[in-house]
Amino acid sequence: MQKGTKYALILGAIPFITLVFALPLVNRIEPIILGLPFLLFWILSWVILTPLILFIAYLLEKKFNPPEEEDE
């Protein structure tokens, strides 16, 4: 597997860890943050962070993987 793809996959695992597997740990109302109950705040934060995570994954792939001819 190419190095960039590997980094991207590791980053890609983050939303699955935070938004699926961590749910039993964050299933609570307190503390209320920015007016949102904690569970909802947690979910919203990671949903908003997902594009950022994917963007970094995209940059890493671009940096470490050789450019592909079919990509244009």
Half-sphere exposure at residue 43, Cβ-oriented, CA atoms within 13 angstroms: 11
How many helices (DSSP H) and strands (DSSP E) are in the chain?
A: 3, 0
31 makes contact with another protein (CB under 8 A) = no
69 makes contact with another protein (CB under 8 A) = no
8 makes contact with another protein (CB under 8 A) = yes
Among residues 51, 56, 29, which one has the least CA distance to residue 41?
29
Q: For another protein, which residue of 35, 60, 64, 65 counts as binding (CB under 8 A)?
A: 35
47 makes contact with another protein (CB under 8 A) = yes
29 makes contact with another protein (CB under 8 A) = yes
Output the CA–CA distances (angstroms, integers) from residue 43 to 29, 39, 47, 62, in the order listed: 12, 6, 6, 29
Residues of the shown chain interacting with another protein in the complex, contacts defined by CB under 8 A: 8-9, 12, 15-16, 19-21, 23-24, 27-29, 32, 34-37, 39-40, 43-44, 46-48, 50-51, 53-55, 57-58, 68, 70-72
